[in-house]
């Protein structure tokens, strides 16, 4: 089975998230969505999430687009969640370039081969979280 993993805050699921999840799912057989912990969202976006992690996970679950939804690592750059789930592919959003580069710098730490892909944007001028959520 080819597992695909995506990462996000998912702070209010919008059509851009839905398109990203559908595209990521096409890269494999089983999609794991990793939801960033509240303090990690604060660190990355320099603002707290509008919804707590539990609510963000519930919103994502209701979309029924991921096969599994899991809590992200406590600390950025550790990739314990990747070690635990051993995906074949890690898919990054079009706006996650820094994250992708950091992750690719850790590929040698994994005992299996992991492909990385960058997903296409879906109307980013309309559906980017920073536009929708300020």
pLDDT class of 126 with cuts at 50, 70, 90: low
* Gyration radius (Cα) of the chain, Å: 14
Q: pLDDT per residue over 26-40, tens digit each? A: 999 999 999 999 999
Percent over 70 (pLDDT), the chain: 91
Kindly report the pTM of this predicted structure. Answer: 0.90
Q: For position 117, what pLDDT does the model report?
A: 97
- Structure token digits, residue 29: 């057989």
| Residue 104: φ, ψ to 5° | -65, -25
Q: Which pLDDT belongs to residue 103? A: 97
Where do the structural domains in the chain lie, given as residue ranges? 3-133
Measure the CA–CA gap between 20 and 127, rounded to whole angstroms: 11
Residue 133's pLDDT band (cuts 50, 70, 90)? very low
For residues 129 and 132, give the distance between their C-alpha atoms in angstroms, rounded to a whole number: 5
CATH number for domain 3-133, candidates 3.30.70.3420, 1.10.10.10, 3.20.20.80, 3.40.50.620: 3.40.50.620
Q: What is the pLDDT of residue 123?
A: 65
pLDDT (tens digit per residue) in 46-96? 999 999 999 999 999 999 999 999 999 999 999 999 999 999 999 999 999
């Amino acid at each position: 089975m080819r597992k695909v993993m995506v990462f996000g805050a998912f702070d209010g699921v919008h059509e851009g998230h839905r398109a990203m999840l559908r595209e990521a799912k096409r890269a494999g057989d089983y999609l794991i969505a990793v939801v960033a912990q509240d303090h990690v969202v604060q660190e990355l976006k320099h603002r707290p999430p509008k919804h707590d992690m539990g609510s963000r996970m519930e919103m994502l679950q209701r979309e029924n687009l991921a096969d599994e939804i899991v809590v992200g690592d406590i600390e950025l750059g550790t990739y314990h969640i990747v070690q635990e789930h051993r995906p074949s592919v890690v898919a990054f959003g079009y706006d996650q370039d820094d994250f992708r580069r950091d992750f690719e710098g850790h590929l040698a730490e994994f005992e299996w081969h992991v492909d990385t892909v960058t997903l296409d944007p879906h109307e980013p001028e309309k559906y980017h979280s920073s536009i929708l959520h300020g």
